[in-house]
């Protein structure tokens, strides 16, 4: 059990929770994730750690409400407890001075970008960050990202804030004009794929943080397998961070769609049930 | 033992064998010859006094008979269901030389079920020795080691990575073969001996062995099992619809996907399902697929039925339920459609050649015999290896070529002082009962180590 100490709505459907989990906070490193479960009937949900405080014993998770499980998580309030909270899982990123690092965060992927930028900033890297969202209201943590970056660029798809367009446009511009030693990208698979495509001709090492479907998160089920450099890897124990130039993104995109029908069905049922519940409360 | 008819049982996940009646159990027990030097005990890795409990059972003294079993075995309802008795105690039975051996497994199950229905008695506990032992993993090896150490008076904590205790008993073995309520009850019994279980704690990640040492644990038993699924490493294996048996069974058993959408974790099942492999895990996967609604389930195995590692009883049950065995056949590649879903398995015909290191005749491909089996779902059940997650966190621990822990077969001692290991993480995938045997031996060795560390022999 892990208590939710604070809850914040960052953007429509994007929520932040500060969770009391000293056993995770004490060991957490940038790049790692947790697996949580909300109810006895619930799924095991993997979420990248957005920030952690070993002294306070707290871990921050940020998630977008897209399906039944994340919506259910979103209904929990301060003081409520998360049934299982397991971690930290996965491998941490290598924390050293690479030189000039560009951190790219897209959508809810801004959250897991933050601890990586922060850790690498502490190691003396020059950090250029690019964060992007669909629209202004979906953007969050701009200030936090600015604190750990030497330079920060913001884009929105619809131009309601920052530069109109995608994070990849800014990245391309930087690559043309400056020497970059490492690019780290976290966001939708298609964004990470495009980032990797762009950095390839510039020969800039590129790390991406993958988010395939998982069950146990400890290397037991093999559900999260991904092809990297022609070899089969388990994202949960070999990753979640991999060399973007070697990842088979198309396979990953297909694998993320395995349960679309079931996810839809679960969400519809849940929405109907919730509506019924609310109706009965009104009566 | 009476069992439910195939056409009924493939529609649900309830248990298949129904158990013996009181009358049948007593009559069966009366067949025991009471040998002067009983052979059956030699075949039992956890050293149950088999003639002792059978005699009490034959007299109708069920209460004392189950106590007799529990002197040695903390998990009788589990063992009575999933032990390969035909290869262990029963194969030694003198009656078996000329006819049927005593059905020791059925009798053990009968007594365990009898006690459970009556309400399990908590044993009287010894005085605490107030010394802490950590057990990593709550599978059969860990539960046995922990239970025995608790009976000796030690303070034992089991650390489990998943959210439910039981290891392979809970994520691997299906409900229709081992009801989870029974696992829960026997785990509860081990807890009633004073064992604490911490769930959702991944040793190697959440805590290291050094962290546990700092917290006052003086000895360690590693029973993390062989949970890393092997794949065939052939083209198309990451297509949608290709599962490892571990994933398929974990979704169904631990996460209760057969109750979706009441439970949130789904599992995808096609009209035609192929399971690759011939072991007990393959049988469990095939029978689970049927119950999840598959119309046709086949088992693709590269040798013949004779070489299948599964229990004969399990193969028979699978076939009764309609599983079709395609033998002497090996997959060479998975075929998929443009959306990334598997649609078929290209296989090659095999024939048996000379015996290999396993003593079984080696399957050899017949050139030019390739053919495609059209399929919607594949479950790869070709075995598991050691999960490196924990092992990587213990520098200096001796591992063998295949990545398993090197441990003294008699004591479970590893090359690290105070660190013991047993079960599948030492032997590779084996049986529940052999893992329990290893847990039992290690518990005795841990006692020797804790009471006289200086005289405990260093292992390698």
Chain B residue with CA closest to A258: the answer is B240
Nearest CA-CA distance, residue A166 and chain B, Å:
27
Q: Which residues pair with A63 in a beta bridge?
A: A15
* Residues of chain A neighbouring B206 (CB-CB closer than 8 A): 23-24, 27, 86-88
List helix spans (H) across B217-346: 245-252, 280-291, 312-320
| pLDDT tens digits, B311-340 | 898 999 999 999 999 999 999 999 999 999
Instruction: Give the whole-angstrom CA distance, residue B71 versus residue B78.
Output: 16
Number of helices and strands in chain B (H, E): 18, 16
Contact criterion met (CB < 8 Å) for B264 and A266: yes
- Is the dihedral angle over the CA atoms B297, B300, B305, B307 positive or is it negative? negative
Chain-chain contact of A254 with B202 (C-beta, under 8 angstroms): no
Q: What is the mean pLDDT of residues A31-42?
A: 96
With beta carbons less than 8 A apart as the criterion, state whether B348 and B300 touch. no
pLDDT value of position B231: 96
Tell me the pLDDT of chain A averaged across its residues: 95
Share of chain B above pLDDT 70, in %: 100
Chain B residue with CA closest to A90: the answer is B205
Contacts of A266 in chain B (CB under 8 A): 260-261, 264, 266
**Confidence (pLDDT) at A157:** 95
Q: Which residue of A has its CA nearest to B235?
A: A230
Sequence-ordered list of residues with C-beta below 8 angstroms from that of B409, at least 6 positions apart, any chain: none
Q: What is the mean pLDDT of the segment spanning B227-256? A: 96
Distant-in-sequence, close-in-space partners of B236: CB < 8 Å, separation ≥ 6: B242, B333, B334, B335, B336, B342
Residue B377's closest chain A neighbor by CA?
A: A258
pLDDT (tens digit per residue) in A148-182: 999 999 999 999 999 999 999 999 999 999 999 99
C-alpha distances out from residue A115 to A27, A33, A48, Å? 14, 11, 10
pLDDT of B457 reads 84
Q: What is the pLDDT of residue A139?
A: 95
Supply A69's token pair.
Answer: 């499980």
Omega cis (within 30) before B419: no
Residues of A in contact with B340 (CB under 8 A): 250-251, 254-255, 257
Q: What is the DSSP string of B60-109?
A: T-HHHHHHHHHTT-S-HHHHHHH--GGGTHHHH-THHHHSPPP-HHHHHH
ipTM of this predicted structure: 0.94
Contacts of B238 in chain A (CB under 8 A): 225-227, 232, 251, 255
**Closest in A41, A232, A258 to B240, CB measured:** A258
Nearest C-alpha in B relative to A33: B205
pLDDT of residue A84: 97
**Closest in A27, A85, A221 to B200, CB measured:** A85
Where residue A273 falls among pLDDT bands split at 50, 70, 90?
Answer: confident
Q: In this structure, what token pair is assigned to residue B456?
A: 């405990």
- Whether residue B240 and residue A257 make contact (CB cut-off 8 A), yes or no, is yes
pLDDT tens profile A50-78: 999 999 999 999 999 999 999 999 999 99
User: Hey, which residues does A231 pair with through a beta bridge?
Assistant: A228
B255 contacts in chain A (CB < 8 Å): 43-44, 215
Q: Best mutation site among B139, B163, B166, B246 for testing chain A: the one with the most A CBs within 10 Å?
A: B163
Please list every residue in chain B whose beta carbon sits closer than 8 Å to the beta carbon of residue A220.
Answer: 171, 227-229, 246, 250, 387
The answer to whether residue B290 scores a pLDDT higher than 90 is yes
Percent pLDDT > 90 in chain B is 83
Q: Say what the pLDDT of residue B323 is.
A: 97
B201: which chain A residues are within 8 Å (Cβ-Cβ)?
23, 86
- Mark yes or no for CB contact A219/B250 under 8 Å: no
Q: Does A237 touch chain B (CB under 8 A)?
A: yes
Q: Are B302 and B328 in contact (CB under 8 A)?
A: yes
Cβ pair B229:A221 closer than 8 A: yes
- Contacts of B238 by beta carbon, 8 Å cutoff, 6+ apart: A225, A226, A227, A232, A251, A255
The answer to pTM > 0.90 is yes
pLDDT tens digits along B190-206:
999 999 999 999 999 99
Q: How many residues does chain B have?
A: 460
SS (H, E, C) chain A: CEEEEEEEEEECCEEEEEEECHHHHCCCCCCCEEEEECCCCCCCEEEEEEEEECCCCEEEEEEECCCHHHHHHHHCCCCCEECEEEEEECCCCCCCCCCEEEEEEEHHHHHHHHHHHHHHHHCCCEEEEEEEECCHHHCCCHHHHHHCCCEEEEEECCCCCCEECCHHHHHHHHHHHCCCCEEEEECCHHHHHHHHHHHHHHCCCEEEECCCCCCCCCCCCCCCEEEECCEEEEHHHHCCEEECCCECHHHHHHHHCCCHHHHHHHHHHHHHHHHHHHHHHHC
Nearest to B231 among A216, A232, A263 (CB): A232
Bridge pairing between strands B384-385 and B228-229: antiparallel
**pLDDT greater than 80 at residue B123:** no
CB of A95 within 8 A of CB of A127? no
Cβ neighbours, 10 Å, residue B184 = 15
Size of interface A-B (CB pairs under 8 A): 120
- Determine contact, residues B83/B436, Cβ cutoff 8 Å: no
**Residues of B contacting chain A (CB within 8 angstroms):** 161-163, 171, 199-202, 205-207, 227-229, 231, 233, 237-238, 240-241, 243-244, 246-247, 250-251, 255-256, 259-266, 268, 339-340, 387-389
The Cα-based distances of B124 to A179, B116, B150, B152, B155 in angstroms read 72, 18, 11, 12, 15
Residue B52 confidence (pLDDT): 94
pLDDT beyond 90 at B415: yes
Top residue of B204, B238, B337 to mutate, by most chain A CBs within 10 Å, is B238
Closest among B210, B216, B200 to B154, alpha carbons compared? B216
* pLDDT higher than 90, residue B2: no
Chain A residue numbers with beta carbons less than 8 Å from the beta carbon of B246 are 220-222
Q: What pLDDT does residue B9 have?
A: 92
Query: Residue B317: its pLDDT value, please?
Result: 93
The backbone region for B167, taken as left when phi is positive above 0, alpha when psi lies in -120 to 50, beta otherwise, is left
Interface residue A42 vs chain B (CB under 8 A): yes
Q: Which residues of chain A make contact with B228, given a CB cutoff of 8 A?
A: 219-220
* Average per-residue pLDDT for chain B: 93
DSSP state of B379: E
Tokens of B326: 């395609």
The pLDDT value recorded for residue B450 is 95
Using an 8 Å CB-CB cutoff, list chain B residues near A225: 231, 238
- Which element (helix H / strand E) includes B443? helix B432-451
Q: Which of A222, A224, A254, A264 has the highest number of chain B CBs within 10 A, making it the mutation to test binding with B?
A: A222
Task: Give the dihedral sign, CA B249/B254/B255/B256.
Answer: positive
Among the residue ranges B56-60, B127-131, B252-256, B297-301, the one predicted with the least confidence is: B127-131
Q: What percent of chain A has pLDDT over 90?
A: 95
CA-atom Rg of chain A in angstroms: 19
At residue B278 the predicted structure's pLDDT band, cuts being 50, 70 and 90, is: very high
Centre a 10 Å sphere on the Cβ of residue A124 and count the other Cβ atoms it contains.
10
A191 token code pair: 């964004």
Distance from CA of B237 to the nearest CA of A (A): 9
What are the pLDDT digits (tens) for A126-154?
Answer: 999 999 999 999 999 999 999 999 999 99
The C-alpha atoms of residue A17 and residue A9 are separated, in whole angstroms, by 9
Q: What is the CA radius of gyration of chain B?
A: 23
Residue B427: pLDDT band (50, 70, 90) is very high
For testing the chain B interface, which of A38, A218, A225 should be mutated: the one with the most B CBs within 10 Å?
Answer: A218
Pick from A43, A83, A220: CB nearest B387? A220
Residue contact A254–B237, C-beta within 8 A: no
**Cβ contacts of A259 on chain B, cutoff 8 Å:** 266, 268
pLDDT for the residue B460: 64
pLDDT of residue B238: 96
Note the pLDDT of residue A283. Answer: 65
pLDDT confidence of residue B429: 86
Dihedral angle of Cα B9, B10, B12, B17, to the nearest 10 degrees: 30
Kindly provide the residue ranges of all beta strands, DSSP E only, lying in B263-415, ordered along the sequence.
272-276, 296-300, 324-326, 329-336, 342-355, 361-365, 371-374, 377-380, 384-385
Mean pLDDT, rounded, for A109-122: 96
Q: Check CB contact under 8 Å for B265 and A220.
A: no
């Amino acid at each position: 059990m892990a208590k939710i100490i604070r809850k914040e709505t960052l953007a429509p459907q994007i929520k932040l929770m500060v969770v009391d989990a000293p056993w995770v906070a004490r060991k957490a490193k940038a790049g790692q994730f947790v697996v949580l479960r909300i109810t006895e009937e619930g799924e095991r949900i993997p979420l990248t750690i957005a920030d952690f405080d070993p002294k306070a014993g707290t871990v921050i998770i940020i998630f977008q409400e897209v399906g039944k499980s994340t919506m259910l998580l979103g209904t929990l309030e301060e003081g409520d407890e998360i049934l299982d909270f397991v971690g930290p899982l996965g491998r941490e990123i290598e924390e050293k001075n690479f030189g000039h690092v560009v951190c790219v965060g897209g959508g809810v992927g801004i959250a897991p970008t933050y601890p990586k930028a922060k850790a690498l900033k502490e190691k003396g890297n020059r950090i250029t960050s690019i964060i992007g969202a669909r629209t202004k209201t979906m953007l969050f943590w701009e200030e936090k990202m600015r604190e750990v970056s030497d330079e920060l660029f913001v884009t929105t798809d619809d131009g309601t804030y920052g530069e109109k367009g995608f994070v990849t446009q800014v990245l391309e511009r930087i690559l043309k004009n400056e020497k970059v030693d490492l690019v780290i990208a976290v966001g939708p698979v298609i964004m990470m794929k495009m980032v990797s495509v762009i950095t390839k001709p510039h020969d800039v090492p590129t790390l991406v943080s993958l988010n395939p479907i998982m069950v146990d998160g400890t290397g037991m089920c093999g559900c999260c397998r991904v092809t990297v450099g022609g070899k089969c890897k388990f994202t949960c124990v070999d990753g979640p961070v991999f060399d973007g130039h070697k990842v088979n993104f198309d396979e990953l995109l297909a694998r993320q769609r395995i349960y679309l029908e079931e996810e839809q069905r679960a969400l519809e049922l849940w929405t109907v049930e919730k509506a019924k519940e609310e109706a009965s409360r009104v009566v | 033992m009476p069992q439910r008819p195939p056409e009924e049982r493939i529609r649900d996940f309830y248990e298949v064998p129904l158990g013996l009646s009181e009358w049948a159990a007593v009559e069966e027990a009366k067949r025991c010859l009471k040998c002067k030097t009983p052979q059956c005990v030699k075949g039992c890795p956890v050293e149950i006094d088999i003639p002792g409990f059978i005699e009490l059972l034959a007299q109708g003294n069920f209460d004392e008979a189950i106590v007799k079993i529990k002197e040695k075995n903390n998990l009788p309802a589990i063992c009575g269901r999933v032990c390969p008795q035909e290869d262990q105690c029963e194969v030694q039975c003198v009656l078996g030389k000329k006819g049927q051996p005593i059905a020791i497994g059925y009798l053990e199950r009968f007594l365990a079920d009898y006690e459970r229905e009556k309400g399990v008695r908590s044993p009287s506990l010894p005085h605490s020795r107030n010394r802490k032992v950590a057990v990593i993993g709550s599978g059969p090896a860990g539960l046995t080691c922990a239970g025995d150490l608790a009976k000796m008076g030690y303070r034992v904590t089991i650390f489990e990575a998943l959210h439910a205790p039981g290891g392979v008993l809970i994520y691997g073995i299906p409900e229709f073969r081992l009801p989870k309520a029974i696992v829960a009850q026997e785990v509860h019994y081990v807890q009633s001996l004073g064992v604490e279980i911490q769930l959702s704690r991944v040793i190697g990640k959440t805590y290291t062995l050094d962290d546990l040492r700092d917290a006052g644990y003086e000895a360690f038993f590693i029973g993390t099992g062989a949970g890393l699924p092997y794949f065939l490493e052939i083209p198309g294996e990451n297509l949608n619809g290709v599962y490892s048996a571990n994933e398929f069974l974990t979704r169904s058993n631990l996460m209760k996907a057969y109750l979706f959408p009441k439970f949130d974790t789904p599992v995808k099942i096609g009209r035609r399902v192929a399971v690759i492999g011939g072991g007990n895990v393959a049988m469990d996967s095939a029978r689970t697929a049927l119950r999840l609604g598959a119309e046709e389930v086949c088992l693709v195995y590269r040798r013949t039925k004779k070489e299948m590692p599964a229990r004969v009883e399990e193969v028979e049950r699978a076939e009764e339920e309609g599983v079709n065995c395609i033998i002497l056949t090996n997959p060479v590649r998975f075929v998929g459609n443009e959306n990334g879903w598997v649609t078929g398995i290209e296989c090659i015909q095999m024939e048996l050649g000379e015996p290999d290191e396993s003593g079984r005749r080696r399957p050899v491909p017949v050139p030019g015999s390739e053919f495609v089996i059209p399929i919607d779902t594949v479950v790869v059940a070709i075995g598991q290896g050691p999960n490196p997650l924990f092992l990587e966190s213990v520098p200096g621990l001796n591992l063998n070529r295949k990545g398993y822990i090197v441990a003294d077969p008699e004591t479970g001692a590893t090359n690290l002082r105070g660190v013991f290991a047993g079960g599948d993480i030492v032997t590779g995938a084996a049986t529940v009962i052999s893992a329990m045997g290893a847990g039992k031996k290690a518990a005795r060795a841990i006692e020797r180590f804790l009471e006289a560390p200086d005289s405990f022999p260093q292992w390698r």
